[in-house]
Amino acid sequence: MADRYLSFTATAPGRFLTRRLGLPQPAALRRWSPEHPSLTGSLIHLTAGRTTLDLAPVLARTGLPLGTTGPTAAVVLDATGVRDVDTLAEVHTALHPVAGTVTASGRIVVLGAPLDTEDHHRAAVQQALEGFVRSLGKEIGRGRTVNLVRLTDAEAAESTLRFLLSPRSAYVSGQVIGVGAAHGEAYGDADRPLAGRTALVTGGARGIGEAVAETLARDGATVVVLDVPQAEADARQVAERLGGRALALDITAADAGGRIADALPDGLDVLIHNAGITRDRRLVNMPAERWGPVLDVNLASVLRTTDALLARGTLRPGGRIVATASIAGLAGNAGQTNYGASKAGIAGLVRALAPRALAEHGVTVNAVAPGFIETRMTAAVPLFIREAGRRMNSLAQGGLPVDVAETTAWLAHPASGAVNGQVVRVCGQSLLGA
């Protein structure tokens, strides 16, 4: 369903009226397209404190020209050297003059160090960066985003920096992303990084799953579109359009993992757990018949199939698992105790399994956590609840399925091996659980 309010605020009368009434004024977000694959303008590189990172080679490969001439598309502030309150002041000194000059749909990325438990002064000011970034994201407006990346190795963070400094991250803001030591491949082919790889997307026949399948195919993957037998025709249609194949089965079946492994004898590189359902009702009115299926589809099936595919060796070394959580699992939502529990469970799975899966199988495990995304499901939500969902984020609008898909594709990238155990919200910096 079209966002008529967003369209109205883009007109002169709409801008005038919403400004006078103090209503949200969302800016149309610039998303990736073949015609506009990158932001327009220059990249400013700033520092706070004494840094040891050599960012120049990585930033030069983002496609944005370094310098201060012309419009400013993005700012990268290296604050890894901030060690005390005095050097924390340099964050303000660096960004105060330039934050307002960033173009609409521009980017600010702050780089921080991992929290140091041996030095509580440094840990305090590095933690302070999170409050700073999230606050700036809520006030900066005009479709601009602000994110924090914690890292020790610039080269290991290349895929993350390229993603955050591109139109692909249009609906990702206020996030704190940890990047570990280098693990995986160099960045490689920017246009088709998944060429030669096989990706399976559960619930891929429609909605967000279909968008994920399309985006992975765009990036070169051979996509297997898995959905329930009732949706087999839709799954086949999507798969044929993308040059992939369809797999019809009930993901909640006890033998689903084994059947997937049998269907993919040559192995799998990317596993996307997207299938999910809702059965909303307040707890006092929720019978077991509404609780059980949600936990079975959204969480138990993910646990079972992941375990089976890892045990069978179906996921090849260098593989990627990306599961779908939700801000309902991170912040809670009235009427969704079942859904919130299942999606919080996904976050727990990711954080516990990620280090072991990487050490034992060479596979990373991450999750995306969508907020309000414009789908057929949200189009059926009552008007006032739908409008609240759209406006209650820093970008004052709903996201699109492609926003979740682009974030998934970044986590699935061969060069994203240093990103592991992360739950990344795709919510426009929702005010829920912010």
Which pLDDT tens digit goes with each residue over 337-351? 999 999 999 999 999
- Both 173 and 301 in a single domain? no
Write the CA distances from 30 to 40, 104, 277, 400, integer angstroms: 10, 9, 30, 12
CATH classification at residue 243 = 3.40.50.720
**Do both 142 and 241 map to the same domain?**
no
Do residues 61 and 114 share a domain? Answer: yes
Q: What is the mean pLDDT of the chain?
A: 95
* Helix, strand, or coil (residue 238): helix
pLDDT digits (tens, 9 = 90+) for 239-262: 999 999 999 999 999 999 999 999
Mean pLDDT, rounded, for 24-42: 94
Q: Is 5 a catalytic residue?
A: no
The reply to whether 184 falls in a domain is no
pLDDT, position 270: 98
What's the pLDDT at 243?
A: 98
4 assigned to some structural domain: no
**Residues 170 and 228 reside in one and the same domain:** no
- Is residue 213 domain-shared with residue 171, that is, in the same domain? no
Residue at which a domain ends, from 131, 146, 178: 178
Same-domain status, 156 and 119: yes
Query: d(Cα 211, Cα 281) in Å, to the nearest integer?
Result: 28
The residues near 182 (Cβ < 8 Å, ≥ 6 apart) are: 153, 155, 156, 417, 418
Indicate whether 137 and 276 sit together in one domain. no
Q: Which helix (H) or strand (E) holds 78?
A: strand 72-81
* Domain, as residue range, for 149: 31-178
